[in-house]
Amino acid sequence: MSDGVITALQYYGAASGLLAALIVSLNLGARPTGWGFVIFVTSSLALIAWGFLNEDSQGIGWQNVGLLAINVVGVYRYLFSAPKESDKSEPA
């Protein structure tokens, strides 16, 4: 794989991870949070690829294997599972 593609994976993973963290931290509701987790999934996939394509970055690859599993749970919880009464919050 070319160095340009590997570099793009690295920077996409970093930038999309920051964007997803911002979306989730804003607590805008279930649907936006779910889409934040979708972005986290793409970030993890990019960083897994980047990590395993670089000899010195395998730790980041393995970390993102774990984060991918966590992010898939977030996607399921916020986009596919039925909301529970305890999940509904009243406006402050």
pTM here?
0.86
Q: Domain range spanning residue 52?
A: 3-81
Residue 89 lies inside a defined structural domain of this protein: no
Q: Domain total for the chain? A: 1
| 14 belongs to a structural domain | yes
- How far is it, in rounded angstroms, from Cα 1 to Cα 39? 24
SS (H, E, C) 2-66: CHHHHHHHHHHHHHHHHHHHHHHHCCCCHHHHHHHHHHHHHHHHHHHHHHHHCHHHHHHHHHHHH
- Write out pLDDT tens, residues 44-81: 999 999 999 998 999 999 999 999 999 999 999 999 99
**Rounded average pLDDT over 3-31:** 96
